[in-house]
Amino acid sequence: MSEVPPHNFDIHEGEIPRHLAIIMDGNGRWAQKRGMPRTLGHKQGVEAVRETVKAARDLGVQYLTLYSFSSENWSRPKEEISELFGLLRMFIRRDLADLHKNNVRVKIIGREENVPEDILNLLDEAQNLTRDNSGQTLIIAFNYGGRDEITDAVKRISSQVVAGTLSIDDITNETITGNLDTHDVPDPDLLIRTSGEVRLSNFLLWQLAYSEMVFVDCLWPDFNRDNLENAIREYQGRTRRFGGLVRDTGS
């Protein structure tokens, strides 16, 4: 797979994705290529997060979802998991004030089980502090799995049916969407995955049904504003059909 080639038009000439989702992949391989411990790759990956959050905000992306820790990541060595938690603590403590200053709302999706209490408290602090912010929404998928999210939605809907507040015949796609962690967020327009891997890895399985996808070779710690803009240009050059005919944009 080759890098997304640059285009000759200005990025602002086309539509900026309202919701951008990113699978940040390749921290470990970035470190291994340089003979470094994997933990240093994760540290460098945090710097790429900072740059990407700012670049996406500058470009006008209203919703940015980052896949930071999946439900499958618990199978990694305990030392690496501890390092990932430490980096999350550092990110929130170092960057939360700046996010709040820039009117960013922080939203966390994923299950709380097995997550250390101090991490949960920090995540709650980030959400509560920024709850009323009206600028960009930064969604952090932490201890998240797409199948878990759908399973939990089915459980909530089933409870409503058992309680008699919802009829089986009234269950629609909108019912399921309304019971997901992202019920108050539009579906992603664009998914970017780094490191050259071409799969979803249990990420936003319901929400990505009609999203455009761009896969880039660069490892996440090397991802920068140029990579982001090139991916958006690739998105802008596509025609979205949403399972049907080309939509008339009126132009």
Helix (H) / strand (E) containing 9: none
Cα distances from 196 to residues 4, 25, 140, in angstroms, run 11, 9, 22
Is 106 within the bounds of a domain? yes
CA distance 221 to 49: 8
Structural contact between residues 52 and 220, judged by C-beta atoms closer than 8 angstroms: no
In whole angstroms, how large is the CA radius of gyration of the chain?
A: 19
Q: 161-169 contacts: CB < 8 A, separation 24 or more?
A: none
Residue 247: Cβ-neighbour burial (10 angstroms; 0-12, 13-18, 19+): exposed
Structure tokens at 27: 């921290």
> Which residues does 242 contact at the CB level (< 8 Å), separation at least 6?
210
CA distance 146 to 203: 5
> Which residues does 31 contact at the CB level (< 8 Å), separation at least 6?
37, 38, 39, 40, 41, 42, 44
Residues with active-site annotation? 25, 73
Of 200, 203, 149, nearest in space to 176 by CA: 149
Is 166 within the bounds of a domain? no
Is 249 within the bounds of a domain? no
The CB density around residue 104, as the number of other CB atoms within 10 Å, is 22
CA angle 168, 171, 174 (to 5 degrees): 170
Q: For residue range 152-192, what is the model confidence (pLDDT) as tens digits?
A: 999 999 999 999 999 999 999 999 999 999 999 999 999 99
DSSP state letter for 169:
G
pTM of the predicted model as reported, rounded to 2 decimal places: 0.91
CA distance 15 to 12: 7
Tell me the residue range of the domain where 70 lies: 15-145+186-236
Extract the residue ranges of the chain whose pLDDT is less than 70.
1-9, 243-251
Residue 200's CATH number: 3.40.1180.10
**Total domain count, the chain:** 1
Q: Which residues face 19 on adjacent strands?
A: 63
Is 171 within the bounds of a domain? no
Is 154 within the bounds of a domain? no
Of 111, 112, 106, nearest in space to 147 by CA: 111
Q: What is the pLDDT of residue 8?
A: 56
Is 102 within the bounds of a domain? yes
Is 81 within the bounds of a domain? yes
Q: What is the pLDDT of residue 246?
A: 58
